[in-house]
A = this chain, B = another copy of it.
Amino acid sequence: MTFTAQQIADFLKGEIIGNPHTEVDNFAKIEEGKPRTITFLSNPKYTHYIYETKADIVLVNNTFTADKPISATLIKVPDAYAALASLLEMVNNATPKKTGIQEMAFVSSSAKLADDVYVGPFAYIGEKAQIAENTRIYPQAYIGDNVKIGKNVLIYSGVKIYHNCVIGDNCILHAGVVIGADGFGFSQQEGVYHKIQQIGNVILENNVEVGANTTIDRAVLGSTIIREGVKLDNLIQIAHNCEVGRHTVMAAQVGVAGSTKIEEHCVLGGQVGIGGHITIGSKSKIGAQSGIISNTPENSEIMGSPAYPVKNFFKSSVIIPKLPDIYRQINALEKELNQLKQQLSKE
């Protein structure tokens, strides 16, 4: 698709500095700009690239003023990064979508699919599954019996959704995601573990995105719940009976143990581990690799394993490499003090 600076400026309600007839047909990063691409300048650190980029159009913030001549046509907008996001979204929406049930798909006769659903080859739709309009099930995905999927959902290749789980509208599940596998529940008798059947399910509310190979286990009874707008990165583990609050985000490889509640608007760094049966208060920020083993109040900003306030974390981290020196220092002090006391007692 080819667009002119004028068309883009009209769409973004931006102001053109330069030639309104400049044409582009692709995006680029500013440091990798090529002819016929559009790029953007948002981070001030990258400002010097605007004078040398070969991109033909650059989106800039209204506040930008050039120090030197720029060969590209500029489009001034209130927020260049948000404007880029809208353009990407527009292009994505214009891309033709796959539709229809492909020949080599398996759809149970009791499943109910809205008319414009896509089901790719080798996808499996179980008994009594329900799939709403405009949802796309990519090749080799598995939708278990009685699963209910909302509208405008994207289920990428190889996603596995066990029986009875529920997926809300506008969700995106990336390749390899597993929803509803059994929770890790056993009763132990004389050192031998006996399985507790896990008969609950998983519920994803609307607008949830789940990264590649992330796993969310079904509840033993009731539901594991991922609330509206939650975004989970890749390779995350959410155990049985957890609840993740609205608009909480987690970076890759986080693990959350069973029956824990993470309230809304939290931000968890990569590789964080959260213990079982606790509550993380809303709007908490937890640093990468932290370990949390007890309830935390809302607005906590913590880090470490076990975690403590993030400001202290970085201060203590500076001291830890000095511990051998400190240890020597304290022992030297003790010795000196003893010598002094001995000396004084002799006097």
A contact residues vs B (CB 8 Å cutoff): 27-29, 32, 39, 81-82, 84-85, 88-89, 91-92, 102, 104, 106, 120-122, 124, 138-140, 142, 144, 156-158, 160, 162, 172, 174-176, 178, 181-182, 184, 186-187, 191-197, 199, 209, 211-213, 215, 217, 221-222, 229, 231, 233-235, 237, 239, 247, 249, 251-253, 255, 257, 265, 270-271, 273, 275, 288-289, 291, 293, 304-306, 308-309, 312-313, 315-324, 326-327, 329-330, 333-334, 336-337, 340-341, 343-344
A317 neighbours in B (Cβ, 8 Å): 306
Q: A273 to chain B: which residues have CB within 8 Å? A: 253, 270-271, 288-289
Q: Least Cβ distance of A11 to chain B in Å? A: 15
B122 pairs with A176, CB closer than 8 A: no
Task: Name the one of B28, B193, B221, B340 contacting A249, with C-beta atoms under 8 angstroms.
Answer: B193
Once the chains bind, are B320 and A221 in contact (CB under 8 Å)?
Answer: no
A27 and B193 within 8 A (CB): no
**Would you call A176 and B160 a contact (CB within 8 A)?**
yes
Tell me how far the C-beta of A118 lies from the nearest C-beta in chain B, rounded to whole angstroms. Answer: 13
> In the complex, A91 Cα to B343 Cα: how many Å?
79
Do B235 and A235 touch (CB < 8 A)? yes
Which of B138, B237, B270, B275 is within 8 Å of A257, CB to CB?
B270
A106, A229, A308: most-surrounded residue (chain B CB, <10 A): A106
How far is it, in angstroms, between the C-alpha of A257 and the C-alpha of B211 when the chains are bound? 14
What residue in chain B is nearest A329 (Cβ atoms)? B330
Cβ–Cβ contact A231 & B121, under 8 A: no
A142's partner among B88, B124, B158, B215 (CB-CB below 8 A) is: B158
In the A-B complex, list the 4 residue pairs whose CB atoms are closest, starting with the nearest: A88-B197, A160-B175, A181-B212, A178-B212
Given A231-B193, A291-B289, A340-B340, A249 contacting B186 (CB threshold 8 A): yes
Residue of B nearest to A175 (CB): B160
Query: In the assembly, what is the distance between CA of A316 and CA of B327, in Å?
Result: 10
Cβ contacts under 8 Å, A306 to chain B: 317
Set of chain B residues within 8 Å of A194, measured between Cβ atoms: 85
